[in-house]
Amino acid sequence: MTVEKIMLELYHDNLSVCAQKVRIVLAEKNQPWTNHHVNLASGEHLTPEFKAMNPRGVVPVLIHDGNTIVESSVICSYLDETFPNPALMPKNQCNWNRVFFNTSLALFVRNCHHGAHYAVGLSRSILFYVQKPRSSG
Protein backbone atom coordinates (compact mmCIF):
# COMPACT_ATOMS: atom_id res chain seq x y z
CA MET A 1 0.00 0.00 0.00
CA THR A 2 1.44 3.36 -1.05
CA VAL A 3 0.71 6.59 0.75
CA GLU A 4 0.21 9.54 -1.58
CA LYS A 5 2.29 12.56 -0.62
CA ILE A 6 0.29 15.79 -0.37
CA MET A 7 2.13 18.32 -2.50
CA LEU A 8 -0.10 21.36 -1.91
CA GLU A 9 0.10 23.58 1.15
CA LEU A 10 -2.28 26.51 1.58
CA TYR A 11 -1.65 29.37 3.97
CA HIS A 12 -4.98 31.09 4.49
CA ASP A 13 -7.50 32.63 6.87
CA ASN A 14 -11.09 31.39 6.93
CA LEU A 15 -12.48 34.92 6.60
CA SER A 16 -10.38 35.93 3.60
CA VAL A 17 -12.53 36.04 0.46
CA CYS A 18 -9.44 35.56 -1.68
CA ALA A 19 -8.50 32.43 0.27
CA GLN A 20 -12.08 31.16 -0.01
CA LYS A 21 -11.80 31.42 -3.79
CA VAL A 22 -8.68 29.22 -3.75
CA ARG A 23 -10.30 26.68 -1.41
CA ILE A 24 -13.26 26.43 -3.80
CA VAL A 25 -10.90 25.69 -6.71
CA LEU A 26 -9.07 23.06 -4.64
CA ALA A 27 -12.42 21.44 -3.79
CA GLU A 28 -13.59 21.50 -7.42
CA LYS A 29 -10.30 19.93 -8.48
CA ASN A 30 -10.61 17.38 -5.63
CA GLN A 31 -7.00 18.08 -4.65
CA PRO A 32 -5.78 17.21 -1.15
CA TRP A 33 -3.91 20.01 0.58
CA THR A 34 -2.22 20.74 3.86
CA ASN A 35 -3.95 23.39 5.94
CA HIS A 36 -1.91 26.25 7.40
CA HIS A 37 -4.28 28.70 9.09
CA VAL A 38 -2.92 32.23 9.33
CA ASN A 39 -4.73 34.31 11.95
CA LEU A 40 -5.05 37.75 10.37
CA ALA A 41 -6.67 39.23 13.49
CA SER A 42 -3.57 38.51 15.56
CA GLY A 43 -1.17 39.67 12.83
CA GLU A 44 0.37 36.31 11.91
CA HIS A 45 0.57 37.49 8.30
CA LEU A 46 2.97 40.25 9.36
CA THR A 47 5.57 38.00 10.98
CA PRO A 48 9.03 37.72 9.40
CA GLU A 49 8.39 34.00 8.75
CA PHE A 50 5.22 34.68 6.75
CA LYS A 51 6.70 37.69 4.96
CA ALA A 52 9.56 35.45 3.83
CA MET A 53 6.92 33.57 1.79
CA ASN A 54 4.96 36.64 0.70
CA PRO A 55 6.63 40.04 1.27
CA ARG A 56 3.25 41.77 0.86
CA GLY A 57 2.00 39.90 3.92
CA VAL A 58 -1.35 38.79 2.47
CA VAL A 59 -3.14 35.47 2.16
CA PRO A 60 -3.54 33.15 0.39
CA VAL A 61 -0.16 31.62 -0.33
CA LEU A 62 0.12 28.25 -2.07
CA ILE A 63 3.22 26.07 -1.87
CA HIS A 64 3.41 23.34 -4.52
CA ASP A 65 6.44 21.08 -4.61
CA GLY A 66 8.50 23.81 -2.94
CA ASN A 67 7.34 26.57 -5.30
CA THR A 68 5.54 29.56 -3.78
CA ILE A 69 2.55 31.04 -5.61
CA VAL A 70 0.84 34.20 -4.32
CA GLU A 71 -2.28 36.20 -5.30
CA SER A 72 -5.57 34.30 -5.42
CA SER A 73 -6.30 34.77 -9.14
CA VAL A 74 -2.79 33.61 -10.05
CA ILE A 75 -3.15 30.62 -7.72
CA CYS A 76 -6.52 29.67 -9.26
CA SER A 77 -5.11 29.91 -12.77
CA TYR A 78 -2.06 27.89 -11.74
CA LEU A 79 -4.26 25.16 -10.21
CA ASP A 80 -6.45 25.01 -13.34
CA GLU A 81 -3.40 24.58 -15.56
CA THR A 82 -1.53 22.18 -13.26
CA PHE A 83 -4.55 19.97 -12.53
CA PRO A 84 -6.56 20.16 -15.78
CA ASN A 85 -9.49 17.93 -14.79
CA PRO A 86 -12.08 19.18 -14.39
CA ALA A 87 -11.32 22.32 -16.37
CA LEU A 88 -12.66 25.45 -14.70
CA MET A 89 -11.90 27.82 -17.57
CA PRO A 90 -12.75 27.27 -21.24
CA LYS A 91 -9.88 26.15 -23.47
CA ASN A 92 -11.22 28.10 -26.46
CA GLN A 93 -9.35 31.43 -26.40
CA CYS A 94 -12.38 33.49 -27.47
CA ASN A 95 -14.51 32.03 -24.66
CA TRP A 96 -11.64 32.43 -22.20
CA ASN A 97 -11.35 36.10 -23.18
CA ARG A 98 -15.07 36.59 -22.52
CA VAL A 99 -14.78 35.07 -19.05
CA PHE A 100 -11.68 37.13 -18.28
CA PHE A 101 -13.22 40.34 -19.63
CA ASN A 102 -16.45 39.94 -17.69
CA THR A 103 -14.67 39.00 -14.48
CA SER A 104 -12.30 41.96 -14.83
CA LEU A 105 -15.15 44.34 -15.64
CA ALA A 106 -17.20 43.18 -12.67
CA LEU A 107 -14.22 43.63 -10.35
CA PHE A 108 -13.46 47.08 -11.79
CA VAL A 109 -17.00 48.31 -11.35
CA ARG A 110 -17.24 46.81 -7.85
CA ASN A 111 -13.99 48.47 -6.88
CA CYS A 112 -15.31 51.80 -8.16
CA HIS A 113 -18.04 51.52 -5.48
CA HIS A 114 -20.96 51.26 -7.91
CA GLY A 115 -22.18 48.08 -6.24
CA ALA A 116 -22.00 44.40 -7.13
CA HIS A 117 -25.54 44.29 -8.59
CA TYR A 118 -24.64 46.99 -11.10
CA ALA A 119 -21.41 45.16 -11.97
CA VAL A 120 -23.17 41.86 -12.65
CA GLY A 121 -25.90 43.54 -14.70
CA LEU A 122 -23.36 45.53 -16.68
CA SER A 123 -21.15 42.52 -17.36
CA ARG A 124 -24.15 40.48 -18.56
CA SER A 125 -25.18 43.33 -20.86
CA ILE A 126 -21.70 43.56 -22.34
CA LEU A 127 -21.46 39.77 -22.72
CA PHE A 128 -24.77 39.82 -24.61
CA TYR A 129 -23.47 42.66 -26.76
CA VAL A 130 -20.16 40.91 -27.43
CA GLN A 131 -21.98 37.75 -28.49
CA LYS A 132 -24.33 39.50 -30.95
CA PRO A 133 -23.51 38.54 -34.52
CA ARG A 134 -22.26 41.31 -36.73
CA SER A 135 -24.41 42.39 -39.65
CA SER A 136 -22.81 41.82 -43.02
CA GLY A 137 -24.22 45.04 -44.49
pLDDT digits (tens, 9 = 90+) for 78-98: 998 899 888 887 676 665 566
Which pairing describes strands 61-64 and 34-37: parallel, antiparallel, or unpaired? unpaired
| pLDDT for residue 130 | 40
| pLDDT for residue 116 | 44
The answer as to whether 108 is a domain residue is yes
Residues in the chain, pLDDT under 50 = 108-111, 113-134
> How many independent structural domains does the chain possess?
2
Same domain, yes or no, for 50 and 97?
Answer: no
> In this structure, are residues 36 and 11 in contact, taking their beta carbons and an 8 Å threshold?
yes
Same domain, yes or no, for 58 and 107?
Answer: no
Task: Report which of 108, 8, 17 is spatially closest to residue 59, judged by C-alpha positions.
Answer: 17
| pLDDT for residue 85 | 87
| pLDDT for residue 63 | 94
Q: Which residues contact 127 (CB under 8 A, 6 or more apart)?
A: 98, 102
Q: Give the Cβ contact number of residue 135 at 10 Å.
A: 5
- Domain limits at 32? 8-82
| pLDDT for residue 70 | 93
Same domain, yes or no, for 75 and 120?
Answer: no
